[in-house]
Every structure is written in structure tokens, then in C-alpha cells.
Amino acid sequence: MAQSQKSNFSIDEFYPYKNEIGINFTNVLGNVLSLNPDNASSPYGLTYRRHMGKISFRSAINVNFTDSNEDDFSNGLFIRRSLNVLKSDFRIGLEKHLVLNKRFLFSYGIDLLGAIGNEKSEIQDFNSGGRTFTSDDKTFGGGLGPVLRLEYKISDRIYLSSESSMYGFLSQTKSSLTINGVKDEDTKSSNSSLILVLPQSLFFNISF
């Protein structure tokens, strides 16, 4: 009786191809269905997985870049503001699979995380002789934690997946301020957090 309830589908049947690339299309789906995709908390836009039997190597990366400039003429004043932000989040890990049936697979594993950020802002005050304030913040972080994943097989090459994780994360930021070319003393700050990511992001995966 116990053997008859066991899944008759092997991991090689579920994953006939060894490589898998995934794209987070939660924002696209949310816009099409008029939902609020901003609630999705997964920061990763692109994933790659390499299947090795019942275990897979998993990785993901996301890069955000912002460059903005604004001239403020309110109240008879002239102030120019510029902001440049570059942030990269990445992870690597391993996961183990449990085939539920020919369409569904459950995985559990662990991830190592990394994050690099650089934010530079400048304010030019052209009033009363003119002053320039420049701030530069550099952030480095890392962490780890467990992950749970559910995947639905559409075909041998196309899959949909979502996952949940709980990451412990530690980051350190170095900040500097320069006023009219004169640099103040650098300051450092650190932050630790426990990040719970619910399965709110949907990934479209292609195997090859």
C-alpha cells in the first residue's frame, strides 16, 4: 500500500534538461491583471539553476540603476539636485527536490546572499554665493537562510515557480559628506535583519 502511494515520476522525467533560466515576471503579470506588483518582495529578476539529479545549484541576480536630475526654482531660489544609485543583489545556493506528481515538484534548500550598493547625491545651491553638498554612501552586505520552492511543469522546457525564504542579513554602510570640496570625516553604520520572503513572486522558467 505504501509503495502504491509513492510518486511514480523520477526527477529525470521532471527535469529532462539540465539548465534552467528564470525571469521574475510578477510586475508584468500584475500590470496585465491590474494587481499591485509592488507587494512582491523578491528582489531577484533573473535566476539560473543547474540540475544534478535530486539536487540543483541555484543562483540569482538583480541590478538596479537610478540616475536623476532636478532643478528647483521654488520660492525664488535655484537649487539643483542629482541622484545616482547603483544596487546589486545576488545569491547562490543548493536545493533538494521531491517530485509530487508529473506536474508539481517541491524543493527545499539554503542560500548565501550578497549585496553591493552605491548611492551618490549632490545638491548645488546657487543662492548666497553658491554651495555644493555631495554625499556618497557605499553599502556591502551578506547573509544566509533556508528556502522552500514549488514548481509547476507546463512542458519539458517551460515551468512556473514561486518560493518562500527566511534570510538573516547583515550590512555595513560607509558614508562621506563633502561641502564645497572639503570632505568631512567618514561615518560607518551597520544593520542586521531577519527577512521573511513570502511566495508572492512568480517566475517563468525555461529549460535547455
Please check whether residue 6 lies inside any domain of the structure. Answer: no
State the total domains in the chain: 1
Beta bridge partners of 57: 50, 94
Q: What is the CA radius of gyration of the chain?
A: 23
Picking from 82, 153, 160, the residue whose alpha carbon sits closest to that of residue 123 is: 82
Please check whether residue 104 lies inside any domain of the structure. Answer: yes
Confidence of residue 1 (pLDDT cuts 50, 70, 90): very low
26 in Cβ contact with 200 (< 8 Å): yes
Tell me the pairing of strands 19-24 and 46-52: antiparallel
Q: Which amino acid is at 82?
A: S
Residue-level pLDDT at 5:
47
Query: Any idea what the CATH number is for the domain that residue 90 is in?
Result: 2.40.160
Please check whether residue 3 lies inside any domain of the structure. Answer: no
Please check whether residue 192 lies inside any domain of the structure. Answer: yes
101 in Cβ contact with 152 (< 8 Å): no
Please check whether residue 2 lies inside any domain of the structure. Answer: no
pTM for the structure as a whole: 0.79
Report d(CA 67, CA 73) in Å as an integer: 20
Name the more confident of 74 and 153: 153
Q: Which domain holds residue 121?
A: 11-207
Render pLDDT for 125-151 as a digit per residue (tens, 0 to 9). Answer: 887 677 888 999 999 999 999 999 999
How many other C-beta atoms lie within 10 A of the C-beta of residue 184? 11
